[in-house]
């Protein structure tokens, strides 16, 4: 193509094309359109972008235990125990507040974490005849009652092959305070598979495929002002 003074050219696949004012405007519009599309897709990095709504698993903080003094008094009494999300039933709220007033380190959420663990450990220790674990978790009267039942079972030549399937609910139902001691009653509703075998391992009663639902009331006690933070099982009854 011959050179024409006063006109610009752009390189095309098969030669040169003249660059007119119209073509320059057209190219600018195309470039602006592509730029806007890229911005909408990629966004603009400013250094202040928000983190993802859901953090990575290793960054998620564990839920804080429920403290009685952080609970809204107006919502607790009228809420149903099964749907309130609290670790105590409304009837126990006054007693819990009195306990918190005498012991500012008490935390209802942490207590219930320990109470659920104690429920499992005490049951498994009783089933297996583990007297040492029962001695650590029970007061004298409860320990002696468990040991008496274990000894009677051993004399019959029987053993338990029980399994705690799961704890459906666990809530504080009552709190009692004296000058020297605090007592907290917890209601457990759980599923347990219970099997009794004789000395030869033959089935005496029960079934692993048919779990029974339990409804237990366990009362724990602890001396007020004690340096020992552990609560001991005081009574174990059926609701």
pLDDT tens for 14-25 read: 444 455 555 555
In 3D, which of 162, 214, 165, 210 has the Cα closest to residue 188? 214
More confident site: 73 or 18: 18
**Tokens standing for residue 221:** 């006690």
Question: What residues contact 95, with CB distance under 8 A and at least 6 apart?
Answer: 174, 175, 176, 177
Predicted structure pTM score: 0.65
pLDDT tens for 1-13 read: 444 444 444 444 4
More confident site: 119 or 238: 119
pLDDT tens for 162-174 read: 999 999 999 999 9
Confidence of residue 233 (pLDDT cuts 50, 70, 90): very high
**Tokens standing for residue 215:** 């409804």
Give the chain's mean pLDDT: 76
For the segment 126-136, the average pLDDT, to the nearest whole number, is: 97
Q: What pLDDT shows up at residue 131?
A: 98
For the segment 206-228, the average pLDDT, to the nearest whole number, is: 90
Q: What pLDDT shows up at residue 34?
A: 54
Q: 64-238 — its CATH code?
A: 3.10.450.240
């Amino acid at each position: 193509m011959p050179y024409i003074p006063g006109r610009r050219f752009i390189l095309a696949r098969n030669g040169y094309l003249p660059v007119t004012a119209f073509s320059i405007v057209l190219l600018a519009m195309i470039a602006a359109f592509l730029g806007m599309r890229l911005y909408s897709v990629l966004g603009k990095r400013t250094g202040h972008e928000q983190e993802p709504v859901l953090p990575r698993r290793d960054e998620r903080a564990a839920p804080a235990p429920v403290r009685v003094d952080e609970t809204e008094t107006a919502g607790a009494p009228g809420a149903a125990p099964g749907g309130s999300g609290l670790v105590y039933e409304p009837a126990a709220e006054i007693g819990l507040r009195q306990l918190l007033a005498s012991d500012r380190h008490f935390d209802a959420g942490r207590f219930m974490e320990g109470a659920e663990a104690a429920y499992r450990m005490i049951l498994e220790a009783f089933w297996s005849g583990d007297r040492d674990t029962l001695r650590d978790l029970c007061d004298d009267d409860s320990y002696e009652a468990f040991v008496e039942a274990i000894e009677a079972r051993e004399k019959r030549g029987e053993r338990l092959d029980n399994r705690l399937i799961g704890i459906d609910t666990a809530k504080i139902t009552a709190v009692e305070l004296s000058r020297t001691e605090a007592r907290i009653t917890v209601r457990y509703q759980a599923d347990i598979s219970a099997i009794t075998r004789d000395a030869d391992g033959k089935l005496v009663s029960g079934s692993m495929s048919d779990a029974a639902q339990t409804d237990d009331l366990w009362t724990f006690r602890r001396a007020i002002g004690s340096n020992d933070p552990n609560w001991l099982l005081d009574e174990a009854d059926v609701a």
